[in-house]
Amino acid sequence: MASSNVSQFLQTMGQGVRPNMFLIDINFPQAIALQSEDQQLTNILCKSAALPGSNLGVIEIPFRGRTVKIAGDRTFDTWTTTFFNDKDFKLRSFFEQWANSINTHEGNTAPLFTPNNSDGYMADLGVKQLEKDASEEGAILRQYTLKYCFPTNVSPIDLAYDSNDQIEEFSVEWQYSYFTAEGGTRSGVSNLGVV
């Protein structure tokens, strides 16, 4: 039996992985006119995101008084990001425009209703887990690409007279078909991928 002690734990853990060290990459559809500096707004104003998860379904088969379980199909949960609202409402307006291009408010039309990444309403999104190190952004420990994403909910922003000392925030819920994962750029990081 292997012994475990504080030194061994600290050597294995290192500095740990910090949940506040991350970057997200949102590639808006081409129909949404972004300036090059606007593309950075998602990273600057993103308050929270998550590394994506997936679920394997279970098929239960009754057999002679017991239930035998076999693996079923994979599903992917909704992915949620939360953003601070900038003074010009730029970022929120980009998400509202994206959702409106899928299905307009008044006319119930779908200007971008083509489900592909080049000229339709879907796009690939990325989330990168970073290490706190000496580099400006941090070395990438692991990166995920969410494939064929689109927003399904741009949350309301609550307004109230007693909301002092706060900055407005809103969240965006995303649907995606699947994700890929790959190892990061720092040496020693697991390069096992998921495709």
> What percentage of the chain carries pLDDT values higher than 90?
55
Q: Is residue 193 part of a domain?
A: no
Q: Is residue 133 part of a domain?
A: yes
* 35 CB-contact burial (10 Å; exposed 0-12 / middle 13-18 / buried 19+): exposed
**Higher model confidence: residue 180 or residue 187?**
180
Query: In degrees rounded to 5, what are phi and psi of residue 184?
Result: -90, -165
Q: Is residue 5 part of a domain?
A: no
Question: According to the model, what pLDDT value does residue 86 have?
Answer: 94
Question: According to the model, what pLDDT value does residue 134 have?
Answer: 58
Q: What are the angstrom distances between the C-alpha of 182 and each of 22, 52, 101, 177?
A: 15, 13, 32, 17
Q: Is residue 166 part of a domain?
A: yes
**Residue range 45-80, pLDDT digits in tens:** 999 999 999 999 999 999 999 999 999 999 999 999
Range of the domain at 88: 16-183
Q: Is residue 192 part of a domain?
A: no
Q: Is residue 98 part of a domain?
A: yes
Q: Is residue 52 part of a domain?
A: yes
Residue 1 has pLDDT above 60, yes or no: no
Q: Is residue 97 part of a domain?
A: yes
Contact 126, 144 (CB under 8 A): yes
CATH number at residue 21: 2.30.110
Contact 84, 167 (CB under 8 A): yes
Calpha distance 27→37 (Å, rounded)? 13
Which contacts of 6-10 are long-range, i.e. CB under 8 A and separated by 24 or more positions?
none
* Spatial CA neighbour of 193 closest among 185, 181, 184: 181
Task: Give the chain's mean pLDDT.
Answer: 87
**Residue range 137-153, pLDDT digits in tens:** 778 899 999 999 999 99
Calpha distance 174→142 (Å, rounded)? 20
Provide the number of structural domains found in the chain. Answer: 1
